[in-house]
Structure 1
Amino acid sequence: MESETVAKYQCLVVDDEIDLASATCEYFEMFGIHSAYVTNSEECLSFLKDNEVQILLLDINLKEESGFILCKKIREESNLPILFISARQSDDDILIALNIGGDDYIKKPYSLSILLAKVKVMLKRLEERDNNATKQANNQLKTIKDIAIDEDARKIYVKEREVQLKNKEFNLFLYLFHHRNRVVTKEELFSNVWGDKFFSDGTLNVHIRKIREKIEEDPNEPKYIKTIWGIGYILEL
């Protein structure tokens, strides 16, 4: 069964000042920027899981969990542009926000027109980036049977379905892809993917399992990544 169509939003505001968040979204909508707001970290993560968002406006002083912690969680999974919006004025707060993955910092109280201008500039850059990526896709995409891989964009596709891999998972899969149809030893993977021959088997096993969960129809009966017991793995294509 095909999944339901994912709703697309150009902007998500994360702020527990409901009146301000609502007013910001209403203002953006007047200028054709489809927006929504949530008031805490849990709602934000759930929204991002179920919807497609281009830009995040994130307050620092959330009640249950700070925007700094939420930013770190998002950065583990996504390069979604994050603009901090906060009443905190210190240089230390600004530096922390930018160092943990924020793309910009806007101080409250902010002008809706200035905020709109910043968001429009960022959306334009995202559009240009996506257009350039589309133009280059045919040259960058290498396809072997059911699997296609774009090394520059760090994306893989299984039967034309994009699969989201974390950084280390992608590096591991990429190495197996380059050495497909031959047995790759555990020591070789540790040396070339982790840069250290002395990692534990458990570390490798967990990463292989997570990749299988994302690319295999049945992770318990893998079609692509096969285990060669006592030796390593083989990617069969």
Structure 2
Amino acid sequence: MYVICRDYVRYCIIHIGEERMGCSMYNILIAEDDKSISEAIEIYLKNQGYNVFKAGDGIEALERILLTEIHLAIVDIMMPKMNGTELIVKIREKYDFPVIILSAKSEELDKIMGLNIGADDYVTKPFQPMELMARINSQLRRYFRYSLTKKIGLNEKIFTVGGLELNDDKKTVNVDGEVIKMTPSEFKILRLLIKNPGRVYSTDEIYERIWNEKAVNTDTIMVHIRNIREKIEIDPKKPRYLKVVWGVGYKIEG
């Protein structure tokens, strides 16, 4: 098992030449103030064909996003000038590209907060480089699949359960006439559930149906479900719409 460390740059040069993917059209931003980590990730990404941009703090990262079309950002939580959670908030004001959080085990609350405000996934330090690359590739597949679906006009329906309304064309959610702001991941999960009211989905099935790949870690699904409930329910502890079927999964009902 390999983890990011200060000797990792030498490891990358030796071992990853055959792993190119031909992804030169994709721009990835690394927002990380630890140069040894950002340089190691950069080597791995470039050897898979990605274009890489680096920033040592949140302000620099935001400036890069404004200047360059970014397709995915890797964001460290603890950064100077503007931390990772503040950066994610700024990103989600305008952009919907995937964001992967880097966090230390001691930053569990920061990791949850990052998911709450719009991050799509997280990786805990120290991490296996191949795990990070798998998550990056997975998030990009999801992002471009979702973008393509929007472009070809397949999402043009309104789904309503009681006072809960999801407009799949405008990508909006309303509860009793009030607009509810949701992250892209939360919207996709709610869309799956509301399109099939009363049907129970396990966390594995939610993961696989939305992202079309085998579920590996469903912890993020449970965090997103909790966030959705807090946004659409008057009393999340006594939900009207998003309900749990213990030992089975989740469903939407009026």
Q: TM-score range by the shorter chain?
A: 0.5 to 0.7
Listed one character per residue, the Cα deviations across residues 44-67 of structure 1 (whole Å, up to 9, x for unaligned) are 111111111111100011022211
* Number of the residue aligned with 1:61: 78
Alpha-carbon separation, structure 1, partners of 2:26 and 2:54: 10
Q: Distance in 2 between matches of 1:48 and 1:153?
A: 25
Match of 1:130 in 2: 147
Q: Within 5 A, what are the aligned runs for 1:131-146? A: 131-136=148-153
CA distance in 1, matches of 2:93, 2:138: 25
Residues in 2 aligned to 1:41 and 1:8: alpha-carbon distance in whole angstroms:
24
From 112, 119, 127, give the equivalent of 1:102: 119
2:40 aligned partner: 23
Cα separation, partners in 2 of 1:104 and 1:89, compared to 1, 3 Å: farther
Deviations 1:13-53 (A, max 9, x none): 10011121122011111112222211111211111111111
Equivalent residue letter for 1:127? F
SS of the residue 2:152 aligns to:
helix
Q: CA deviation at 1:8?
A: 6.0
Which residue does 1:34 correspond to in 2?
51
For structure 2, which runs of at least 5 residues remain unmatched after alignment? 1-23, 157-167, 172-180, 182-254
Give 1:82 deviation, angstroms.
Answer: 1.2
Say if 2:38 and 2:54, in contact at 8 Å, map to a contact too.
Answer: yes
Structure 1: distance between partners of 2:101 and 2:58: 14
Residue 99 of structure 1: how far off its partner (Å): 1.1
Aligned length: 139
Please state how far the C-alpha of 1:71 moved relative to its aligned partner: 1.3
TM-score (norm 2): 0.49
Residue identity opposite 1:80 in structure 2: F
Cα displacement (A) at 1:90: 4.3
Q: Does 1:119 align with 2:121?
A: no
- What SS does the corresponding residue of 1:84 show, helix, strand or coil? strand
Q: Please provide the CA RMSD for this pair.
A: 2.6
Question: Which letter does structure 1 place at the counterpart of 2:95?
Answer: S
Distance 1:127 1:81 in 2: 10
Deviation at 1:101? 1.4
- Looking at structure 1, the residues matched to 28 and 109 of structure 2 have their Cα atoms a distance apart, in angstroms, of 26
Unmatched runs of 5 consecutive residues or more in structure 1: 1-6, 141-150, 155-166, 168-237
**Cα–Cα, structure 1 residues 40 and 9, in superposed 2: closer, same or farther, change >3 Å?**
farther
Please say if residues 101 and 121 of structure 2, whose CA atoms lie closer than 8 Å, have aligned partners that are also in contact: yes
Q: Counterparts of 1:77 and 1:135 in 2: how far apart (Å)?
A: 22
**Mapping 1:148-187, distance limit 5 Å:** 152=169
Code of the residue aligned with 1:107 in structure 2: it is: T
Which residue number in structure 1 is paired with residue 63 of structure 2? 46
Aligned to 2:28: 11
Cα distance in 1 between the residues matched to 2:91 and 2:106? 23
**Deviates further, 87-96 or 105-114:** 87-96
> Which residue in the other structure is 1:70 paired with?
87
> What's the counterpart of residue 231 of structure 1?
none
Q: Distance in 2 between matches of 1:37 and 1:136?
A: 35
| Larger Rg belongs to | 1
Partner of 2:174: none
Distance (Å, rounded) in 1 between the aligned partners of 2:106 and 2:122: 10
Q: TM-score, normalised by structure 1?
A: 0.53
Deviation at 1:121, TM superposition (A): 0.8
Describe the shift of the 1:56–1:153 C-alpha distance in structure 2 as closer, same or farther (beyond 3 A). Answer: farther
Secondary structure (helix, strand or coil) at the match of 1:57 reads: strand
Change (3 A) 1:42 1:8: farther
